[in-house]
Amino acid sequence: MARTVIIEEAGGPEKLKLVDREVGDPGPGEIRVRHAACGLNFIDVYQRMGLYPLTLPHALGMEAAGTVEAVGAGVTHLSEGDRVAYASTPPGAYTEARVMPAAAVARLPDGISFETAAAMMLQGLTTEYLFERVTPLKAGDRVLFHAAAGGVGLIACQWARSMGIELIGTAGGPEKCALALEHGAAHCIDYKAEDFVAQVKEITGGAGVDVVMDGVGKDTFAGSLDCLKPLGFMISFGNASGPVPPVSLLDLAAKGSLKLTRTTLFTFLADHARAQAMAQNLFQKVESGDVKIRIGQTFPLEDVAEAHRALEGRKTTGSTVLTL
């Protein structure tokens, strides 16, 4: 049996329940993993609220780190006793132990702790695909990144710095802006006090940026388009403020033949070889010191509802870890 956080109906943090569930043995292509820590992300909130519907009842959580207890038939890249970490579907990481698909689970280097791994897999792999796999980026390019003091944002600031990319961040308040700058942002705009579109135009001398990476959604989307240079690329990858309303393709034409995509991490992780390569790239960035993972807050598993409230209330910085 394993303590596991589930929802039986969509709604607020009060819908999160901690129950005992039988774990079982892995089948073909699966492993059983005993968790040491798991991560908290906005996708968990979207699933809890029903924005990303699940078949209920369902366990929550998309990332964790721990030790392999058993390996099913056909799994060749992992062995019993391996230290591992993952961001993976289906949800179910808020638990002491689980049986799950092995394909996206990666062997964790000894130099990276379980807590650090649990804090970085979903956010770090998101950063990896944003900078390495959506559109070609090179030193000297300018990127606007919203919520630059959040979990993904602080990793993105450092990733951009390691590539020689000029990252312009936005964050809410001077303390969060200072944090983004400390982690490698070239500029950070306090969206609570300044018009980020006007500030981006000033920073770029009216030219605009090459790429916008926007995980905020509804509140920043329209302004983000206005920050792009002609032929610029808009990457929408989240809905922290709510889903983006319908977009007219004619608007993209009028604003300079802009390119737009709505991405999701799990499309990139669906291919086993690519998922493993992405994980190794992330591990290399962390082990080299190019990227340092900041765990801003931890909560015991039984306080998961409090953790969700803090995340939704924008009271967190960096990554959040649930301890077991």
- Per-residue model confidence (pLDDT) at position 83: 98
| CA 105/CA 48 separation, integer angstroms | 24
Q: What is the pLDDT of residue 319?
A: 87
Residue 272 has pLDDT above 90, yes or no: yes
Confidence of residue 40 (pLDDT cuts 50, 70, 90): very high
Determine the pLDDT at residue 6.
98
Query: How far out from the chain centre does Cα 224 lie?
Result: 20
> E strand or H helix at 253, and its extent?
helix 249-254
Which among 56, 232, 244, 36 is positioned nearest to 134, based on CA atoms?
A: 232
Torsion sign over Cα 39, 40, 43, 49: positive
User: Which DSSP symbol is given to 195?
Assistant: -
Place of tokens 């689970």: 105
**The pLDDT value given to residue 201:** 98
2-122+266-323 — its CATH code? Answer: 3.90.180.10
Q: For residues 46 and 14, which has the higher predicted lDDT (pLDDT)?
A: 14
CATH class of the domain defined by 135-262: alpha beta
Query: Domain residues of the chain, as ranges?
Result: 2-122+266-323, 135-262
Of the candidate ranges 68-72, 223-227, 315-319, the one whose mean pLDDT is the lowest: 315-319
Q: What are phi and psi of 75, to 5 degrees?
A: -90, 115
The per-residue pLDDT for 50 is 95
- Kindly report the average pLDDT of the chain as a whole number: 96
Mean pLDDT of 235-257: 93
